[in-house]
Amino acid sequence: MGKLNTRIIVGLMLALFTLNGEAQETNSGITGSKQAHYFLTRSRVLRDRKDSVGAMDCLRLAHGKFVKMSDFKEAAEAVLNMEEYYQYFGGRDLNVRIKYYEWALTEFRRSSAKAREEATLKVLGDFYQIQGDLSKSLKYLLQALKLKDFIKAADQEALYDLLGSVYSALGNLNNGLRYGLDAVKICERLKDSSMQACAVYNRVGITYFRLKQFEEAQRYYKKSLTVASKLNDAETQIGLYINIAQVLFNEGNYQQCVSMLNGVKRRFPKAVAASPLSMDNSLLNCLIKLKRFQEGELYADRLNVLSHKVSMVGNDQQIIQTTLSNYYLATRKDALARKHLHILESVAEAQHSLFAMSTALSMAAKLDSLHHDYASAYRNYRKATEIQDSLWNIRQSRQVAQLHIQYEVERRDQEIKNQNERIRLLGSHTRLKQTTLQQERAMQWLIAGSTILLIFLLIISYRGYLIKRNLNKQLKIQRTEIDSQNDSLTSLINVKDALLAEKEWLMKEIHHRVKNNLQIVISLLSTQSKYLDNDIAYSAIRESQHRMQSISLIHQKLYQSENLALVDMNAYIRDLVFYLQDSFFTADRIIFSMEISSISLDVTRAVPLGLILNEAITNSIKYAFPDDRQGAISIGLRHLANNTTVLTIRDNGVGLPHTINIFKKKSLGMSLMRGLSKQISGELSIETGDGMTVNVEFNSDELLKAV
Q: Which range among 497-511, 532-546, 621-635 shows the weakest confidence by mean pLDDT?
A: 497-511
Q: Which pLDDT does position 696 carry in this prediction?
A: 92
- Cα–Cα distances (Å) from 389 to 354, 362, 376, 395, 415, in that order, read 10, 13, 20, 10, 37
Q: Given pLDDT bands bounded at 50, 70 and 90, which one contains residue 538?
A: low
What pLDDT is stored for residue 496 in this prediction?
77
Give the pLDDT confidence score for residue 14 in this predicted structure: 46
pLDDT at 648 over 90: yes
Assess contact for 110 and 129: CB atoms under 8 A. no
Residues ≥6 apart with Cβ < 8 Å to 203 = 161, 164, 165, 168, 180
The rounded percent of the chain whose pLDDT value lies above 90 is 11
Predicted confidence band at 365 (pLDDT cuts at 50, 70, 90)?
Answer: confident
The 8-class DSSP code of residue 644 comes to E
Q: Are 352 and 390 in contact (CB under 8 A)?
A: no
The least confident of 212-221, 635-644, 651-660 is 651-660
Q: Distance between CA atoms of 42 and 85, rounded to whole angstroms?
A: 13
DSSP 151: S
> Does position 307 have pLDDT exceeding 60, yes or no?
yes
> What average pLDDT does the segment 158-184 reach?
85
When the pLDDT of each residue in the chain is averaged and rounded to a whole number, the result is 79
> What is the band of 5 on the pLDDT scale with cuts at 50, 70, 90?
very low
Rounded to the nearest 10 degrees, what angle do helices 234-250 and 277-289 cross at? 20
Q: Is pLDDT above 60 for 566?
A: yes
Q: What's the pLDDT score for residue 635?
A: 94
pLDDT at 26 over 60: no
In angstroms, the CA 630 to CA 652 distance is 10
DSSP assignment of 310-375 equals S-TTSHHHHHHHHHHHHHHHHTT-HHHHHHHHHHHHHHHHHHT-HHHHHHHHHHHHHHHHHTT-HH
Instruction: Compute the average pLDDT of residues 79-105.
Output: 89
**Residue 415: its pLDDT value, please?**
58
Each residue's pLDDT tens digit, 251-280: 889 899 989 888 988 888 888 887 788 888
Least confident of 21-25, 419-423, 506-510, 614-618: 21-25
- Per-residue pLDDT, 694: 92
Listed by start position, the domains of the chain span 572-706
* Lowest-pLDDT range of 189-198, 464-473, 526-535: 526-535
Statement: residue 409 has pLDDT above 60: no
**pTM of the prediction?**
0.48
- CA distances in angstroms from 35 to 23, 49, 477, listed in the order given: 12, 21, 96
Listed range (127-136, 144-153, 356-365, 644-653) with the worst mean pLDDT: 127-136
Report the alpha-carbon distance of residue 180 to residue 182 in Å, rounded: 5
More confident residue, 501 or 604: 604
Residue 175 has a pLDDT of 86
Q: What is the per-residue pLDDT for 594?
A: 92
Tell me: the pLDDT tens digits for 428-480? 776 777 777 778 788 888 888 888 988 988 899 888 888 988 888 898 898 88
Cα separation, 96 vs 98, in Å, equals 5
- Kind of pairing between the strands at 590-596 and 631-639: parallel
Query: Which of 77-81, 353-357, 462-466, 641-645 is predicted least confidently?
Result: 353-357
427 vs 410: CA distance, rounded Å: 26
Q: What is the DSSP string of 618-632?
A: HHIIIIISGGG--EE
Task: State pLDDT tens for residues 671-702.
Answer: 888 888 888 888 998 888 788 899 999 886 64
Residues in the chain, how many?
A: 707
Q: Around Cβ 494, how many Cβ atoms within 10 Å?
A: 10
| CA of residue 571 relative to chain centroid, distance | 60
Q: How many Cα neighbours within 13 Å face the side chain of 251?
A: 16
The superfamily (CATH) of domain 572-706 is Histidine kinase-like ATPase, C-terminal domain (3.30.565.10)
Region 180-194 average pLDDT = 89
The predicted model gives 409-418 an average pLDDT of: 56
**pLDDT above 60 (res 41):** yes
Beta-bridge partner residues of 684: 696
Confidence check: pLDDT of 397 > 60: no
What is the pLDDT averaged over residues 308-330?
81
Confidence of residue 530 (pLDDT cuts 50, 70, 90): low
Confidence of residue 27 (pLDDT cuts 50, 70, 90): very low
Give the per-residue pLDDT at 18: 45
Q: Please report which confidence band the pLDDT of residue 212 belongs to, taking 50, 70 and 90 as the band edges.
A: confident
Q: Across residues 489-514, what is the average pLDDT? A: 68
Banded pLDDT at 204 (limits 50, 70, 90) = very high
pLDDT digits (tens, 9 = 90+) for 42-75: 989 998 999 989 989 999 999 899 999 989 999 8
Q: What per-residue confidence (pLDDT) applies to 543? A: 66
Segment 331-357, tens digit of pLDDT: 998 888 888 888 888 877 765 556 678
What is the 3-class SS of 555-604, one letter each residue? HHHHHHCCCCCEEEHHHHHHHHHHHHHHHCCCCCCEEEEEEECCEEEEHH
Looking at residue 670, its pLDDT comes to: 81
pLDDT band for 1, please (50, 70, 90 cuts).
very low
Q: How many CB atoms lie within 10 A of CB 269?
A: 10
9 band by pLDDT with thresholds 50, 70 and 90: very low
**What confidence score (pLDDT) does residue 200 get?**
92
